[in-house]
Structure 1
Amino acid sequence: MNNEDRIISVAKKTIETESQAIRNLIPLVDAAFAGAVNYIFNSNGRVIVTGIGKSANIATKIVATLNSTGTPAIFMHAADAIHGDLGTVQENDSVICISKSGNTPEIKVLVPLIKAAGNKLIAITSNTKSFLGTQADYILNAYVEKEACPNNLAPTSSTTAQLVIGDALAMSLLDLRGFSSKDFAKFHPGGSLGKQLYLRVSNLTELNEKPQVSPDTDIKNVILEISKKMLGVTAVIENDKIVGIITDGDLRRMLATTDSFVGLTAKDIMSKNPKTIDNDAMAVQAMEVMDTNGITQVLAQKNGKYTGVVHIHNLTKEGII
């Protein structure tokens, strides 16, 4: 077997092993899992997620997922906790401790301290009969038969299982909270996902010039308006209403078919009934209009009055595309 075939074979085997480990978790989700979710949901405190080694890395991701979906969470490294960071845990906080074996030295020191303080302890472990498992108030069973590592040593399937259990916990809490897309946007205001949920057409039109001409504007001034406003387009406005649109493409077609421009006005070359979008619509809807109609700009209006232009470059700059 050459190197390429060997690489592909190992990669596929790894994915198969880990995917099977995830499927095996389904029957392990039980009343203890539901109890842990309900306790966190009804608690006034935060969720402290702790672990050591690779489990600590998984803990940081679970914390990020919880925070972004409405459940306040903090990461606490298990080793640091027993050297001064235990003060992170407050009276009403729940503590999720992640450990495959449940028997590491740091866990054996940390767990009694958490229990003595009266905080609820939730274990994510592959060994329910471990020290961690027997001390926990709720056990989230993350049992895996074997690691994807051929030596069954490097944490692979086990950390994947821990991550999936954490996601299941977070999504269960999200569901109980009725966490909506608007809520999601509040926690992701700077990301492209958040912008899709809160950025409106009005936020984009205000960034641009507002090109417009009347139906009787001569061609020279139409060209000047399009060039000056640098959006490759101008609206044709009559009585505050959009009656047409002229794009760079319209000008090129005019040049290809017309020998004399004397007497030509905007109404002679404009496209009637242009695609428009409400100024209060979501920016992502503007993208859909452009994509559906194969255009790069769309005119915005509010209460029937022209408000400006949304250009595909606006969407690109904001990360919508």
Structure 2
Amino acid sequence: MVNNISVEKAATSKIHNVDFDNLSFGNTFTDHMLVCDYENGAWNSPKIVPYGPIALEPSSKIFHYGQSIFEGMKAYKDEADGVWLFRPLENWKRLNKSAKRLAIPELPESHFMDGLTSLLRLEKDWIPKNPGSSLYVRPFMFASGTGFHASPADKYKFIIALAPSGAYFSGKVKVKIEETYSRAANGGVGYAKAGGNYAGQFYPTQLAVEEGYHQVIWTDDNNHEFIEEAGAMNVFVRINDTLITAPTNDRILDGITRKSILDIAQAEGIPAEVRKISVKEVVEAAKNGSLQEMFGAGTAAVVSPIAAFGYKGVDYELPEIQNSYASQLKKRITDIQYNRAEDSFGWRFKVS
């Protein structure tokens, strides 16, 4: 447990200038942030300071060798103003999994959880209560140590920044199944939430947008034969009544929403399979009418339905169905997150 988290209060608050009825996603930031430095072989005690710029030397290794990782999570407020997190220890575990892969020192649980809850208690008034809104939480770590030598840094920063955000709604998403570019490769860092993974996605996604699509469905790096992820989300496919998602591996992120969907499906009798799913199988299912749904799963949107996909110059529309798995699963998860329903899984964490 961290007992000595110092707090430097902001001189004035920005909260009165924020239109909470018209929040975009991740563009408005709260008054404070948590900062914690690693130096001399150990993590210092976290401290809460006013949100603002960070001073770094041009030789800081983050700029040259890309040691940077992050997490994405949300804080929710219920009708009684209780503040809740959703499976926060899973985020801490995955942060350290990413850290280990990028040779960044792992962060103690107490630094993560005590720092996070202290920050949220201070900033609780920033958590919106409008339907679908939440406080987006962005923990991240990067190399702050200096030097041009290609080696791990000797100093790192861990920061948690907060952004009150409105409902994340992307409408009807049309995706392109990628045939040329790969998100990640065997033995690489695809399973880590490394900043470079996302930077590498931007160009192929930009090309897809120019063709009239919103996002890319990533395929394996060998033959582009198997479906892996949807943009920055895990992907699910429903053929007839069976929900299918790819197994996690070196290339695929172990999504917390993904795991939650699989647990809910099992509990509620929705047939689900974790296995490789080929592009050929999806295309054939679209042609013969057995492809019922495709959707992405992640923290921002929870579940993002896919209305159509393109492959080899041909677009395939998905049917609009009543009481879809996507809508059922999204409601089940968000009801737990906002403390509107029983949490039989023990996922909800109260910030007290």
Q: What range is the shorter-chain TM-score in?
A: under 0.3
TM-score by length of 1: 0.20
TM-score by length of 2: 0.19
Looking at secondary structure, tell me which structure has more strand per residue: 2
- Kindly name which structure, 1 or 2, has the bigger radius of gyration based on alpha carbons: 1
